[in-house]
Amino acid sequence: MSAESSAFSELRGHLHRTRLLRSISNTLSYDQQTAMPPAGSDWRGEQLALLAEQLHQRQSSEGYGDLLAAAESELAEQAGASPDLGRTLLLLRREYERQRAQDPALVVRIAEARVRGSSIWQEARRRNSFRLFAPALTTLIELRREQARQLASAEPGANGCWEILAQPFEPDVRAPRLEQLFTPLLDQLPALLERARSRAAETAAPALPADLQERLCRDLLRGWGYDPSRCSRALSAHPFSSTLGPADFRITTRIVPDQPMASLLATAHEWGHSLYEQGLPHSDEQDAPWPLGQATSMGVHESQALFWECRVARSEAFARRWHRPLVEGLGADPWESPGGLWRSLNPLHPGLIRVESGELGYCLHIVLRFELERALLEQDLPVEELPERWNRRSSELLGITPPSDAQGCLQDIHWAEGLFGYFPSYALGHLISAQLSEAMEAELGAGTEALIERGEDARILSWLRHHVHPLGRRVNGEQLVQQVSGRPLEATAFLRHLSGKLERLLSSDR
């Protein structure tokens, strides 16, 4: 994007200001999750709605459309222009058409309903009352369906409400392709889960004091390039990662006394998200406001988070390294050995709660949500029947029936924030992470276990920084996997990883 013409330079100015506004909105959301008292939520909703209105106005204005058209004509007249320019304008044009297609009043109503929905959901989950939440969910579904109707003309490739709403998270995703990717999981995971049941009952993890958990998280990050001049950390009910500026990266974790490893694993996960953001070309001033500098899909984003959580923090080598500081910090060894710590980092039985589920059951949690959100959006499943349907499918897919809605269909915040179409990205993240791991191992001649064992964590990061992070949005999620691994995305590597790890864990038990 060097030697910019005037059309591109004006476009850059416009996008820069859009990015400033969006980051203001993200900062308010960050504060909402980490610091805002509950009674602040109505006002916060009004603030976010105002910003959503401004953002929509900027991104759909005729003036912006003219800027875009001028850049497009200029590009058409250039011979031998970089393909990056073409891709840049294509992505901007797609987003512009999406924004143009939406009624501004609807944009504001959705922003307000999201804040209200998440506030009511917190109360409903606390009181285990799906009835309290149902009206807000109904409103969100209606608003998002209306949005999908408006967006249909701007998404000619997407088929139906669900696919249209999923585009921002997973560009170019199609529901049948997801079903194709998930079929091997549905075929093979039940057998792996059955085999895991042969494992002795999982012992409850020992409680770790909050300050020890906090110290471990800090030490973990110190070894993985955490730079306090550019990053900061906080506690929140739901761990997340957020980029608030070109040099302002935040991650959060939660400290739960009876889930001693949750804070450490969440920190590894969110730090993986943040490392991807920090490695994207948008941190480079040159690419700053252009879409090619951004994350390409939430599936790829999740793959980076899962890489650090599952490949690194849940590895046997990592457990060996961390056993001693944990035992010293606690003044006791409730795991009895590094192997015991490793086993406690890798529960095999599928949990009731998605975020606490081990790797074996996790994707079945996603299939459940993928099915149900399509049923709600496209098959007229009545909202009041959601708990019953959830519990039935949970029993069928995972072999467990939630004893309460708080531990069932009220467990996730996503739908309360109007996020439909997001969940499959988590499963894609597992698949992508596994396939990228194998590609890394093939190239370096050593997998994550061996590299961590040798203390060569830096080579892992370096490989990701070289092969994955800099691609930005030059390719979509599936193209990224094809380019880096030389093969189309499939579930094979992930299933190979799971069955290998399962056997190692089962023999470590003995």
Cβ 351 to a second copy shortest distance, Å: 30
Q: Which is nearer to a second copy, 52 or 468 (CB)?
A: 52
- Unique residue bearing structure tokens 């504001």: 108
Pairing of strands 241-245, 248-253: antiparallel
Q: Within 13 Å and on the Cβ side, how many CA atoms surround 318?
A: 23
Give the span between the Cα atoms of 71 and 440, in whole angstroms.
Answer: 39
The CA distance from 309 to 119, in Å, is 29
- 3-state DSSP of 317-342: HHHHHHHHHHHHHHCCCCCCCHHHHH
Distance from C-alpha of 286 to C-alpha of 173, rounded to nearest angstrom: 29
SS3 11: helix
Nearest approach, Cβ of residue 496 and a second copy (Å): 40
| Closest CB to a second copy among residues 45, 447 | 45
3-state secondary structure of 160: helix
Structure tokens at 184: 């091997």
Closest separation between CB of residue 73 and a second copy, Å? 29
Round to whole Å and give the CA distance between 9 and 67.
Answer: 10
User: Other CB atoms closer than 10 Å to residue 60's CB: what's the count?
Assistant: 19
- Nearest approach in angstroms of CB 18 to a second copy is 11
DSSP readout, 238-280? Answer: S--EEEEETTEEEEEE---TT-TTHHHHHHHHHHHHHHHHHHS
- CB nearer to a second copy: pick between 17 and 197: 17
- The Cα–Cα gap between 110 and 112 comes to 5
CB of 213 to a second copy, least distance (A): 15
Q: How far is the CB of 358 from a second copy (least distance, A)?
A: 33
- CA separation for the pair 169, 449 (Å, rounded): 31
Active site residue 270: yes
- Which of 37/83 has CB closer to a second copy? 37
**211 or 509: CB nearest a second copy:** 211
Q: Which is nearer to a second copy, 198 or 229 (CB)?
A: 229
Nearer to a second copy, 49 or 165 (CB): 49
In this complex, which beta carbon is closest to a second copy, that of residue 220 or of residue 300?
Answer: 220
Q: Which is nearer to a second copy, 68 or 235 (CB)?
A: 235
Question: Cβ 36 to a second copy, closest distance in Å?
Answer: 6
Q: How far apart are CA 453 and CA 321, in angstroms?
A: 8
Say which of 112, 270, 309, 478 is annotated catalytic. 270
Q: Please state, in angstroms and rounded to a whole number, the distance separating the CA atoms of residues 235 and 269.
A: 14
**Coil vs helix vs strand at 233:** strand
Measured distance CA(476)–CA(196) in Å, rounded: 35
Residue with tokens 């408006």: 150
> How far lies 222's CA from each of 4, 116, 226, 270, in Å?
40, 38, 5, 14
Q: To the nearest whole angstrom, how small is the minimum distance from the Cβ of residue 26 to a second copy?
A: 10
Q: Which amino acid is at 373?
A: E
| Shortest CB 32 distance to a second copy, Å | 9
Residue 273 identity (one-letter amino acid): H
Given the rule CB under 8 A, which residues bind a second copy? 17, 20-21, 23-24, 27-28, 30-31, 34-40, 42-44, 46-47, 50-51, 228-232, 234, 244-250
Q: How far apart are CA 483 and CA 332, in angstroms?
A: 48
Q: Are 58 and 14 in contact (CB under 8 A)?
A: yes
- Which residues are tagged catalytic? 270
